[in-house]
Amino acid sequence: MSGTLTILRAGPGVTVQDGGRPGWLEYGVSRGGAADRLALAEGAALLGQGAEMAAVEMAGMGGEFQADSDLRIALTGAPMRASIDGAAVAWNASHLLPAGARLAIGAARSGSYGYLHAGGGFQTPEHLGARAAHLAAGIGAPLAEGDVLETGPDSGRGTGLGLAPDDRFEGGTVRVVASLQTALFPETELTRFEQTTFRRGARGNRMGVPIESNGEGFRTEGARSVVSEVIVPGDIQVTGDGTPYVLLSECQTTGGYPRIGTVVPCDLPRLAQAAAGTALQFRFIPLEEAVELERAEAERRAGLRSQCYPLIRDPRSMSNLLSYQLISGAIAGEEDVL
Amino acid sequence: MAEERVENPTPEIRTVGVDGMLVSFGSRLSEPANRAALAFRAALAKESWDGVEEVSTSLVSAYVRFDLRHLDHTSLRARLKKLLAQRDWYAAELPGQRRLWRIPAVFGTDLAPQLPQAAEAAGMTEAEAVASLSSARVRVQTIGFAPGQPYLGELPVAWDIPRQTQLTSRIPEGALAVAIRQLVLFSVATPTGWMHAGQTAVRLFRPDAEEPFLLRPGDEVQFTSVTPEELQGLKRDPLGGARAEDLS
């Protein structure tokens, strides 16, 4: 059974995303895909389906959606206010969106990127083997009022599952490894980089985010003569004025600005999710440690499905609470219980 | 120093982030280093080792991204070393199936307003600059930065001019820009430090086309000078008047 989801209203940064399109680096196209890949895995676990399916990514602000037939959905990533026909529903959980009901998703309460998943995934056209919009490359476009997304056949069943959110929406310490050009920075600058508390800058998008501090810019030795080299998501480029800029999934594929280090992939969601102004710190770790972290993270992601638990409804979110017989079985205390 | 420059540098293997490795054939752009990078990438693609997810080239390097669950740094490094030792990569030939592209371009005018500045930096009159740029046969040294976007070189030594210190806030799609003995033909509108000397109507990346990318590393390109009116007429053609012939 396939169906459709109609966009009744959408914030400015709502796009379809999946794991992106690896394999086109050779042609100048970075992989792209969801800014927070962990959120994709969480949505897939909640719906009991493959993580390759496309979801709707919402940058800071959601929208209103309506399905033409009953649709299983899951909500992950940056927690946002969500309701179905006015009744609040839990985030990081799966739900049934009945045919014709209105799903309203508001602004992020913390973090940046929220995700709406559908049973069977969204089946927008593929370009170069993926459905993800890659705005920097001119592939796809933000979703807007009136757009209709096809959903794929849903072989899974059941809703009402929750998943404990992984805490990655409030900044904090991000682990980095030394990379190609780290050695161009004097030791004192690397130490200062680790000791600085940065704020995520207000500019920034799926290509990358600036990180700002009150201190001076970071200086290199002989960086002007660096030949342009391959760039990967997580690379921390230091621009001409010394401001570090962390590259995200939609980054360019080559660049000449020196890079002070690379964010370990499992910590990249923490960076992508940091809202403007959020405090961030960086800590260098050895490559071997980063490899172990990545292997452990891959295993954890693969096991997410077993971490899902049945959702217990929060009485505060039940508008018809008084219609329930909540005191069945209770006694007044005067009865003869024998 | 002067004697050393005759020798090709020793290739260097470095890590890129957590799951990437880079084999660099030089710390600066040179023809042998570029050929070596292209040839080594092709060899890597042919080897297609288990766990290797993606290979690509930049100007003087080949890049490998791999799956940490199926391959580790030590064994990948050992394999790369072994492959490096197999031959003199600096003496490699260019990739096969190369083509020569002739692409119409307007040099100067308000379509490419920095021609006078670029000509002056190269020590030429504008007419000499147009003659030099349109007679040069440049090669796609790598595709990068944006989809299908080529770095083209190498231009005559007079074009060893620096990038601007100030960025141009927006260079349009199809712009031909010059610096450091190279041309970049832009596939998207973007800010740049390169000087806008020519304008074409070519679309280098067409996501919906059967062959989405026009150029491949190794292809050669010559820009033929046309008038703004002629370029206007070429805009209906998705290739912008670009024509290819096989080189072999």
Residues 115-144 of A with CB under 8 A from B: 127-128, 136-139
Predicted ipTM > 0.85: yes
The CA distance from A331 to the nearest CA of chain B, in Å, is 59
The verdict on a CB contact (< 8 Å) between B146 and A177 is no
Mean pLDDT of chain B: 93
Q: What is the pLDDT of residues B106-149, one digit of tens each?
A: 999 999 999 999 999 999 999 999 999 999 999 999 999 999 99
Per-residue burial over A258-287, b if 16 or more Cβ lie within 10 Å, else e, is bbbbbbbbbbbbbbbbbbeebebebebbee
Q: Is the pLDDT of residue B14 over 70?
A: yes
How distant is the Cα of A115 from the closest Cα of chain B, in angstroms? 25
Q: Please indicate if any CB of chain B lies within 8 Å of the CB of A229.
A: yes
Q: Who has greater pLDDT, A114 or B190?
A: A114
pTM of the model: 0.90
Confidence of residue B3 (pLDDT cuts 50, 70, 90): very low
| CB–CB contact A229 B58 (8 Å) | yes
Partner B contacted by A227 (CB < 8 A): yes
The burial of B16, by beta-carbon neighbours within 10 Å (0-12 exposed, 13-18 middle, 19 or more buried), is given as: buried
User: Residue B96 has what pLDDT?
Assistant: 82
Burial of A150 (0-12, 13-18, 19+ CB in 10 A): middle
Q: In the predicted model, what is the mean pLDDT of chain A?
A: 91
pLDDT recorded at residue B236: 92
Residue B106 burial class via C-beta count within 10 angstroms: exposed 0-12, middle 13-18, buried 19 and up: buried
A106: exposed, middle or buried (Cβ count in 10 Å: 0-12, 13-18, 19+): middle
Instruction: Give the model's pLDDT for residue B97.
Output: 86
**B22 pLDDT above the threshold of 90:** yes
- Extract the residue ranges of chain A whose pLDDT is less than 50: 329, 331-338
B60: Cβ contacts below 8 Å, ≥ 6 apart: A227, B24, B25, B26, B27, B28, B29, B30, B33, B34, B36, B37
Cα–Cα–Cα angle for A182, A186, A192, nearest 5°? 90
Per the CB < 8 A criterion, the answer to whether A72 and A159 are in contact is yes
pLDDT at B197: 98
Q: What is residue A228's predicted lDDT score, i.e. its pLDDT?
A: 83
B111 is written with which tokens?
Answer: 């379509």
Please, are residues A164 and A92 in contact by the beta-carbon 8 Å criterion? yes
Residue A253 phi/psi, 5-degree rounding, is -100, -20
Closest CA to A283 of A193, A188, A206, A215: A193
CA distance A333 to A5: 53
Q: Given an 8 Å threshold on Cβ–Cβ distance, is A295 in contact with B68?
A: yes
Mean pLDDT value of segment B160-170: 83
- Which residue type is seen at B123? G
Chain A residue with minimum CA distance to B213: A27
Compare CB distances from A28 to B14, B18, B144 and report the shortest one's residue.
B144
B36-75 pLDDT, tens digit per residue, is 999 999 999 999 999 999 999 999 999 999 999 999 999 9
State the Cα–Cα distance between residues B234 and A246, nearest whole angstrom.
40
B70-91 tens-digit pLDDT: 999 999 999 999 999 999 999 9
Tell me the percentage of chain B whose pLDDT exceeds 70. 98
The contact set of B with A (CB < 8 A) is: 14-20, 22, 26-29, 41, 53-61, 63, 65, 68-69, 72-73, 142-149, 151, 187-188, 205, 207-208, 212-213, 217
Of B22, B29, B13, whose CA–CA distance to B66 is shortest?
B22
Residue B2 has pLDDT above 50, yes or no: no
Q: What distance in Å separates the CA atoms of residue B181 and residue B154, rounded to the nearest whole number?
A: 6
DSSP character for B34? H
Residue pointed to by tokens 């989405």: B212
pLDDT at residue A321 in the model: 58
Structure tokens at B169: 């806030």
Selection from A171, A136, A175 nearest residue A265 by Cα? A175
B188/A291 CB distance under 8 A: no
pLDDT tens digits, one per residue of A16-32: 999 999 999 999 999 99
Average pLDDT of the residues in B227-237: 95
